[in-house]
A = this chain, B = another copy of it.
């Protein structure tokens, strides 16, 4: 039986002395070498990886939460001594140091294996907009791997690494999770540092985590999260008197969009699976409430119709001015529109967004989380080639609003279509409710009785408890 790379299994093996980090590195490299060459843009050298393993082997595995855990890094996040390309060869540079989030994980004992393929400049939800090729979907290579964090998702689903970092501005950490049977955590904005990450929309970007189960996502999150003064958008979770809403409780209320606000783009299989997942949540004791999803959809439309594309232009303005043909043609067509908008347009859209934000606030007094499909459908690659912009846009129907509205979310697998393709839903709550969402995702994942990634193994450890302590304090009105 193939060794599962979920964190619990590896940790148990390390603690029992069944294997050492160098054994795992050798196994990782063997799995990568025998797999799809489009998943990775660069893999660190065996020599350097074994040197890291050797250093870990001088330590007690019990002292490091991610001792010897191999992980992948989307190639728009810096790893020291490796090139960063953002899937654009002309943009390539060598990273002098780890991005903060990589440094955090390394300090916790994890080993970054290499850099994974992506939709160029993290622009896309499809995973096919890369000069480095298309990482094959882990279940059926005729179908999209999902993007933009395509390689990160596929590498985890195939068991090449335990978890992987993605980025998620508009859905890039969730859509590929859905299409590859993974948990995809899109943390609260600013919880993971974006220092050392190539910006997409700098005001909205999040580093995300692909994992086999919610427990692994939680473990990686807790090691990765750190306030970072070098990232202007870094935030600490406020210590607030809202614990009942931020912590998991039995019998919480969840919102679902009203039926006419759902859109499956004709995909009956995905519709059926969504209804099943909602039923599963109810059978777990959560209370369903139909909510008005329209302000979320309106905010989602702002992202691509509004001025935020100017942020993508800002991020690569030198390259796009000097060498426009360095860009993937679809990426170029999208990003070059960013120069058109005026500052008046930008403020106008920001006012609209603020109104949508305000409109959604009362909802969070009524419900504890929202549950939507992660994506409405799953296209074949050839379908997207025929209509690359519209079908990509369809995939963002349930994802584009998330960072604009300052929400946290977790994509979780819940079932498979008759064609054996994975489906999942996304649970959503305000920023800094990440831990609650991971608990919900875990309950649902366990109830769905699915194996991890492409494996036949079902490993679902209990999550670590929510950190609480009781204090007597003065409340300021």
Contact = CB atoms under 8 A, between A and B. Distances in A.
A460 interface: no
A346 interface: yes
A468 interface: yes
Interface residues of A, number: 56
B471 A473 contact: yes
Nearest to A361: B229
Contacts of A361: 229
Contact of A232 (B246, B341, B343, B358): B358
A314 B477 contact: no
A305 interface: no
B470 A347 contact: no
Interface stretch (A25-33, A66-74, A234-242, A268-276): A234-242
A298 interface: no
A342 interface: yes
A301 interface: no
Contact of A347 (B240, B310, B357, B362): B310
Interface stretch (A255-263, A283-291, A348-356): A348-356
A338 interface: yes
A249 to B, nearest CB: 11
Number of copies: 2
A36 B380 CA distance: 76
A17 interface: no
Contacts of A239: 240-242, 475-477
Contacts of A471: 241, 472-473, 475
A229 B362 contact: yes
A138 B471 CA distance: 52
Tell me if A's interface is mostly helix, strand, loop or mixed: mixed
Nearest to A356: B232
A219 interface: no
Interface in A270-328: 307, 310-311, 313-314, 317
Contacts of A340: 343
A59 B143 CA distance: 74
A267 interface: no
A394 to B, nearest CB: 25
Interface string A100-111: 000000000000
Contact of A240 (B229, B241, B317, B338): B241
A386 interface: no
Contacts of A247: 474, 476
Contact of A355 (B232, B342, B357): B232
A250 interface: no
A467 interface: yes
Given A229-B358, A240-B239, A358-B234, A344 B313 contact: yes
Given A237-B476, A237-B477, A474-B243, A314 B344 contact: yes
A329 B359 CA distance: 39
5 contacts: A232-B354, A239-B241, A310-B343, A311-B347, A339-B342
Q: Give the 3 A-B CB pairs with smallest separation, nearest first.
A: A341-B343, A310-B343, A467-B477
